[in-house]
Amino acid sequence: MYILKKDGNFHYINTKSNNRSYITPFVTDTHLHVLGLGEKLYFPSLEGENLKEIRYIIENLLENNPKEIILRGWSEEFARPTKDFLDNITTNLPIILIRRCGHLAVVNSKALEVAVFNDSKEYIDFTTGIVKEKALEKIYQIKDFSDFSAYAEKIWGYAKDYLIGKGYGFVHSDDLHGISKEDLPFKPTDNLNVFEKVAINNHEDLIFYYENGYFDKYSCVKVYLDGSLGARTAFLLEKYNDDYNNFGIKLWEDEELIKVIDFCEKNNLHLAAHAIGDGAVEQLLNAFEKAKPKLVHRIIHAIVLNENQIERIKKLKIILDIQPQFIESDKVFIHQRLGKRLNKAFNFSKLYETGVPLFISSDAPVEEPNWVRDLKTLNNLGIPYSYSLFQITYGPEFIDNFDRELATYEQVLIFKDNPFNQISMPKVYNSK
């Protein structure tokens, strides 16, 4: 058989059967929200549903007398729910409908009444019930966490079984929103390894997590510099083509961001920055150029980029974490959002040719984790299977320091044909 090694090549191993199978470690999704994926698998999804169907789903859930209803997946091409629409269903309990991107929600009057927004009111339209970005965390805190441990175990089980069945053995996740590290259900004995990102809203949050021991266990800091193109909250250098007064939302002040970078450098922490628009990328690159980091950090998404930014990313030795399925999902609105700037979106081929290292992920629950689909998408763009397959197996070791080669004694993917030439779903072998 042939086994993929850390040098990026398949090596022949003499065995009793001497079959011609091709063996790799389990793969890694370097950016998702694993508990969010569990919720998506457990609850009804709103993806592709119209208003009549959404109402039917909510009314069915109401029969079970819930304390709140939180659903996800709607998008404007199928439905445009409003506060009035939800109030006509019920005002007796909070209803929260999260757009599929996760950066905007529509809520009913009860949700607006019970949530404590404090300093995030600028992200709320109390007339339409639209809640964006930083205010979303306040909305999530409506959820009844009285028996969160059992709930977290349940949704973790759904996500874990799904991912392992697809050949994932490792995920870099982002779950600490409204919960503490003690609430996370992951255990060392689990056969899916979770490397958690600690998301912060400001430098003060970072100090709090540091003083409370979060970085004794986790080594990655997550910042959200903007939102999403679908919600028109991604921060752009030029105004939206379909919203002439809007550049999107800039969520961080420059000096605060530089303080976070300096802290990460001094404490050997990896910074993973969500930046979708070229405005957010520009802010981050300017901050890096001032802070002059020696460690390797990461930009998650970077959907809109200009050539100057790509060259600066390479010079700064930044990893880009890309989501190939966004090409398909965003095509329903991206031309309207960007207009003539469409050629600046999804420049994965250019990044590869320039030598910018790429991680490959799903951003689940936004997208279904499906690495075979993603590698085929990238191959169609001219990025070879040999590169992509290595990047989702051994590549992330550079960040999480987990020995994939050692893991192949218990978990491997078995391909009939050389996956450097053609790829399909392999047999998933798991002896754990």
| Burial (0-12, 13-18, 19+ Cβ within 10 Å), 307 | exposed
Same domain for 115 and 156: no
Structural domain includes residue 318: yes
Q: How many residues does the chain have?
A: 432
β-pairing, 270-275 vs 220-224, is parallel
Q: Split the chain (432 residues) into runs of 10 and give each run's mean pLDDT.
A: 95 80 97 97 95 97 94 95 97 96 95 87 92 87 80 96 97 93 93 97 97 97 97 97 95 97 98 98 98 97 98 98 98 97 98 98 97 98 98 97 90 96 95 74
Residue 356 belongs to a domain with what CATH number?
Answer: 3.20.20.140
Last residue of a domain, one of 124, 140, 156: 140
Tokens read off for 424: 């399909």
Are 89 and 228 in the same domain? no
Are 247 and 131 part of one and the same domain?
no
Q: What is the DSSP letter of 178?
A: S
Q: Looking at the structure, do residues 109 and 158 belong to the same domain, yes or no?
A: no
For residue 353, give its domain range: 25-35+148-415
* Residues 312/282, Cβ–Cβ less than 8 Å: no
In a domain, 345, yes or no: yes
Which residues, in sequence order, are CB contacts of 188 under 8 Å at separation 6+?
none
With respect to residue 431, please indicate whether it lies within any of the assigned structural domains.
no
Does residue 100 sit in the same domain as residue 31? no
Looking at residue 280, its pLDDT comes to 98
**How far is Cα of residue 59 from the mean position of the Cα atoms in its chain?**
30
In a domain, 178, yes or no: yes
> Is the dihedral angle over the CA atoms 148, 150, 151, 152 positive or is it negative?
positive
Question: Collapsing DSSP states into helix, strand and coil, what is residue 21?
Answer: coil
Q: Is residue 153 part of a domain?
A: yes
For residue 218, give Cα distances in angstroms to 181, 271, 372.
10, 12, 29
State which H helix or E strand residue 415 sits in. strand 411-415
Q: Which amino acid is at 110?
A: K
Whether omega before 25 lies within 30 degrees of 0, making that bond cis, reads no
Q: What distances in angstroms separate CA 152 from CA 81, 90, 168, 182, 185, one per listed residue?
A: 28, 27, 20, 11, 6
pLDDT for 342:
97
Query: Residue 136 belongs to a domain with what CATH number?
Result: 3.10.310.70
What is the model's pLDDT at position 145? 65
Q: Which two tokens stand for residue 339?
A: 């207009």
Residue 97 lies in a domain: yes
Let me know if residue 324 belongs to a domain: yes
Among residues 78, 108, 140, the one where a domain terminates is 140
- Region of residue 363 (left: phi > 0; alpha: psi -120 to 50; beta: else): left
49 shares a domain with 30? no
Q: What is the pLDDT of residue 144?
A: 74
Residues 354 and 255 in one domain: yes
Total domain count for the chain? Answer: 2
Residues contacting 189, CB < 8 A, separation 6+: none
Considering the domain architecture, whether residues 95 and 173 belong to the same structural domain is answered as no
Buried-exposed string 340-352: b where 16+ CB fall within 10 A, e elsewhere: ebeebbbbbeebb
Cα separation, 300 vs 353, whole angstroms = 19
End-to-end CA distance of the chain: 22
Indicate whether 296 belongs to any domain. yes
Beta bridge partners, 223, equal 200, 273
Encoded amino acid at 73, one letter: G
DSSP state of 89: T
**Is 104 in the same domain as 130?**
yes
Residues 353 and 204 in one domain: yes
Residue 80 has φ and ψ, to the nearest 5°, of -130, 80
Query: Tokens 């290292």 sit at which residue?
Result: 357
Q: Do 177 and 101 sit in the same domain of this protein?
A: no
Same domain, 397 and 319: yes
Q: Out of 121, 140, 159, pick the residue that ends a domain.
A: 140
Give pTM, 2 decimals.
0.93
What is the C-alpha to C-alpha distance for residues 414 and 22, in angstroms, rounded to an integer? Answer: 6
